Amino acid sequence: MFAYVVRRALQGVLVLFVVAFIAFTMFRFVGDPLDGLLGQEATQLDRIELRERLGLNDAVPVQFARFVGNALQGEFGNSYRNGVPVAGMIADRLPATLELAMVSALFATLLGIALGVYTAIHRDGWLANAIMSASLIGVSLPTFLIGVLLIWVFAVELGWLPSFGRGATSDLLGWDSSLVTVSGLKSLVLPAITLGLYQMTLVMRLVRAEMLEVLRTDYIRFARARGLSERAVNFGHALKNTLVPVITIIGLQVGQITAFAIVTETVFQWPGVGLLFINAIQFVDIPVMATYLLLVGTLFVSINLIVDVLYAVIDPRLRAERPAGRA
C-alpha cells in the first residue's frame, strides 16, 4: 500500500507542476506585468530598469523556478487592480469560502447519502419516485438560478432570511467565523443550500445506483438466504459496499463545490475567494487569477490523494500485498 500511496502522490505532484506552469505562463505572458507596478510618468528607461530588476529578462526556466520558489513561500505578487499583495487578499477571504464549502459539503453528503439509500431500498414507493423526479430538476437547475430563486422566495417574499452577505462574524478558535452568530448562521442557510443542492442530487443518484447494484449481488442474496433481517442486510452489508466507490466521488465533490462557490458567492455577495476570482476576471487581474488557480489546483490534488488513501484503507482488498489464497 505504501507503494500505491507514493505512486499517487507523484502523479499529484506532476499535475501540480503542470498547473504551476500554466499559472506562471499566465502571470508572465498574459498582459504586461509591469503595468501595475509603474506609474503614469514612467519612462522607457524606468521600464528597462524594472524589467532587469524583476528578473524578467532571465531564461524562462529560471523565471519559472523563481516563481515556484516564491509561491512555496507564499509570495504571489501584487494585484493589478489595487496593488495589494495577492497572498493577503486571499488569506483574508479564505475563511468565508471554507466555511461555506464545508457546510455545503456536509449538507450535500449527509442528505445525499440518506436519500440515496432510501430511494434504493424503497425502490417502487411513491415517495422515492417523487424524490427521483425532483432530483432531475435539481440536476438541470444551474446553481445561480437556485440561488436567485431561493432569494426570491425566502428573502424577498417571505423575508425570513437575508439575501446577501455573511452576517456578523465572531471569533472561533482564532478565525472569523459566521457559525457562532445568529445572523451568521441565518446568512449561511441559503448559500449553503444553493451550493450544496446540485452536489446533493448527484450524490443521491450515485448512491442509489450503487446500492441497487449491490442489492443485486450474490452475497446479498446469500445474506438473505441466511435469514438475516432486512436491516442487517441493508445496513450491515449493502451500505458499506455501496459507500466504498461512492467515497471517491464524495471526495471529488469538494473540488466541484469549490468551483461552484464562485457562482454562489456572486449571487449572495459572499465575501470569499470565489467572488475575488470573478472580480479578477472582470478586471483581467492576472496575478489574482493565477494564484487562485494554483491554490485550487493544490486543493484538488490534495483531496484526490486523501481520497485515494482513504479508499485503500477502507477496502481491504487493496491492502493485501501478500499472495492471495493460502488455503
Partner 1 sequence: MVGNATEADDDVLLRVHDLVVEIPTRHGTLRPVDRVGFTVRRGEILGVVGESGAGKSITGAAIIGLLDRPAHISGGSVTLAGTRIDGLSERELQRVRGARIGTVFQDPSTSLDPLKTIGDQLAETALAHLPITRREARERALQALVDVGIPAAAERLDAWPHQFSGGMRQRVVIALALIAEPELIIADEPTTALDVSVQAQVLTLLRRLCTDRGVGVMLVTHDMGVVAETTDRVAVLYAGRVAEIGPTRQVLTDAAHPYTRGLMGSTPDTSPDRDIGDRLVQIPGAMPGLTAVPAGCAFHPRCPSAMSICAMREPPVTVLGDTAVRCWLHEDL
Partner 2 sequence: MSLDTDPIGPPDRMPDPAPGRLSRAWQSDIAWSFRHSPVAIVAALVFLTLVIAALAAPLIAPHTPFDPATLNLMDGFTPPMGEGLGSGSLYWLGTDDQGRDVFSTILYGMRLSLLIGLAAVGFAAVLGVSLGLVAGYAGGWVDALIMRIADIQLTFPSILVALLIFGVARGLLPPESREQMAVWVLILSIGLSEWVQFARTVRSSAMVEANKDYVQAARLVGRRPMAILFRHLLPNVMGPVLVIGTIYLALAIITEATLSFLGVGAPPTSPSLGTLINIGQDYLFSGEWWILLFPSLTLLALALSVNLLGDWLRDVLNPKLR
Residues that bind partner 2 (CB under 8 A): 15, 18-19, 26, 30-31, 136-137, 139-145, 148-149, 151-152, 156, 163, 218, 255-256, 259-260, 262-263, 266-267, 277-278, 280-282, 284, 286, 289, 293, 296-297, 300-301, 304
Q: Mapping DSSP to helix (H, G, I), strand (E, B) and coil, where does residue 171 land?
A: strand
Chosen from partner 1, partner 2, none, partner binding at 15 (C-beta under 5 to 8 Å by type): partner 2
Name residue 308's amino acid: D
Rounded to the nearest 10 degrees, how much is the dihedral formed by the CA atoms of 65, 70, 76, 80? -60
Chosen from partner 2, partner 1, none, partner binding at 39 (C-beta under 5 to 8 Å by type): none
Name residue 125's amino acid: G
Q: Is 219 in the site for partner 1 (CB under 8 A)?
A: yes
**How many CB atoms are located within 10 Å of the residue 264 CB?**
28
How many chain residues bind partner 1 (CB under 8 A)? 29
Q: Which residues contact 292 (CB under 8 A, 6 or more apart)?
A: 90, 273, 276, 277, 280
Q: Which residues contact 257 (CB under 8 A, 6 or more apart)?
A: 101, 104, 105, 108, 195, 196, 199
Chosen from partner 2, partner 1, none, partner binding at 70 (C-beta under 5 to 8 Å by type): none
Q: Is 230 in the site for partner 1 (CB under 8 A)?
A: yes
Chosen from partner 2, partner 1, none, partner binding at 140 (C-beta under 5 to 8 Å by type): partner 2
Q: How far is the C-alpha of 49 from the C-alpha of 46, rounded, in Å?
A: 5
Nearest distance in Å: CB 319, partner 1: 9
Using the structure block, give the residue that is written with the C-alpha cell 515556484.
Answer: 68
> Which is closer to partner 1, CB of 45 or CB of 324?
324
Candidate list 59, 137, 156, 225; residue touching partner 1; CB under 8 A: 225
Q: Is 321 in the site for partner 1 (CB under 8 A)?
A: no
Name residue 73's amino acid: Q
DSSP string, 273-300: HHHHHHHHHHTT-HHHHHHHHHHHHHHH
Chosen from partner 1, partner 2, none, partner binding at 53 (C-beta under 5 to 8 Å by type): none
Candidate list 229, 284, 306, 313; residue touching partner 1; CB under 8 A: 229
Q: Is 315 in the site for partner 1 (CB under 8 A)?
A: yes
Nearest distance in Å: CB 237, partner 1: 5
Residue 78 gets which letter from DSSP?
Answer: B
> Which is closer to partner 2, CB of 99 or CB of 285?
285
Q: Is 326 in the site for partner 1 (CB under 8 A)?
A: yes
Interacting positions 237-256 with partner 1 (CB under 8 A): 237, 240-241, 244
Q: Is 231 in the site for partner 1 (CB under 8 A)?
A: no
Q: Is 82 in the site for partner 1 (CB under 8 A)?
A: no
Contact positions toward partner 1, by CB under 8 A?
Answer: 217-219, 221-230, 232, 236-237, 240-241, 244, 314-317, 320, 322, 324-327
